Amino acid sequence: MKTKLLLTFLLTTLLLSACSARDLATLPPDVQSDIKGVITDPSLTKDDKVEKVTDIVNGIVEDWPEIPIEDWDYEYNSELGGVAITAYKGTETRIRFPDEINGDAVVSVALACGYTSRPPSNNKRVTDVLIPNTVIEIGRSAFNNCDSLKSVTLPSGLQYIRQKAFFESGLTEITIPMGVTHIEEKAFEDCTELVSVSLPQSLVYIGVRAFTGSSKLIDITLLADAVQVGENAFGGTYWYERQPDGLIILGNVVVSYKGEIQDSTLVIPEGVVSIAGRILYYSSYGDVNITSVVFPASVTIIHNDAFNGWDLDDMTVESIWDINPYAEIAGDNWFTFYN
């Protein structure tokens, strides 16, 4: 009941505020279409529109099967201040997570596909999940190896997507809602059916190999103004492989360098704000002779490992440390790669 009331309030608020495109994007595509149709119908009064939106919301909730509490593994997470669901033990293929257990808000969710003590076959058949707006964290390995999972609607209150949250899942597209600040290591690695992702302005961190190996991922939209990006975050994606040799820039982030490097000076273009970890991961690093890097004034974020292993001159090292005092620069073209 609380979920229904919350969704009704949310969508009614959207309706009365001319419908925020950002918040609508967190709802299933068919629901978005239905709501937009109601809102733009000139023949309906405001009261009629609210009533129809409410009917749509009722349909969202009632279309999903009720799941008994004994089918969940859960614990109280004192750090997040609510219930963390750690596994689903039932047999449904369409999963609606509860918004409360024992009167406490559900703040973290996971299906634990392949990680429960029972055979993982049921979870691996899950095709859709609905997550309540109480949730602020998608837990570590939450939907790892859920290869039948095609659709996830992430809640508007979400802040963290933890390590391997959707690793090797069957997702085809996903919209990360405004408010998410962290996408951790390998969160969407090897999602080989994923074709598009939108990354919001609220992001401050994208972890190592976050989208690596998602070989059909062609459409990546990065709206964040200032985000730290880990090593090889987008390597092996369709988008990355079609980029020409040279500095690879996504939004205002240098995510990598492809191809051979012959010059001794690397010039970072104006407008770049962030430099990702180990940007020479895909370059012909054995022949690197770079001794200096020229930074524009726009650069404010340098990953700790961005230039680790580069044999740089003192002036460049000082410039790097002025921006990030914790940056590692070992010299002698020494590299240690994350695997």
Using left for φ > 0, alpha for ψ between -120 and 50, and beta otherwise, residue 158 falls in: beta
One domain, residues 219 and 329: no
One domain, residues 56 and 71: no
Cα separation values, 54 from 8, 49, 69, Å: 6, 9, 27
One domain, residues 218 and 306: no
Span 23-66, pLDDT tens digits: 455 456 667 777 888 888 888 888 778 767 766 655 555 578 88
One domain, residues 40 and 132: no
CATH number at residue 147: 3.80.10.10
One domain, residues 43 and 189: no
Domain limits for position 50? 2-62
Span 102-129, pLDDT tens digits: 999 999 999 877 554 444 456 788 888 8
- Residue-wise DSSP of 24-47: HTTS-HHHHHHHHHHHT-TTS-HH
Q: What is the pLDDT, as a whole number, of residue 301?
A: 96
- Residue-wise DSSP of 188-207: TTT-TT--EEEE-TT--EE-
Q: What is the pLDDT, as a whole number, of residue 69?
A: 93
One domain, residues 193 and 253: no
Residue ranges of the chain with pLDDT lower than 70?
1-30, 51, 54-62, 114-122, 282-288, 330-339
Domain's final residue, options 37, 62, 87 = 62
Mean pLDDT of the chain: 83
How many structural domains does the chain have?
A: 3
One domain, residues 144 and 40: no
One domain, residues 252 and 148: no
Asked if 132 and 6 count as a contact pair (C-beta separation under 8 A), the reply is yes
Domain's final residue, options 47, 62, 77 = 62
One domain, residues 265 and 304: yes
One domain, residues 150 and 259: no
Domain's final residue, options 242, 274, 293 = 242
- Residue-wise DSSP of 308-327: TT----HHHHHHHHHH-TT-
Asked if 259 and 248 count as a contact pair (C-beta separation under 8 A), the reply is no
One domain, residues 208 and 114: yes
One domain, residues 235 and 251: no
Cα separation values, 318 from 160, 237, 270, 276, 277, Å: 34, 34, 19, 18, 18
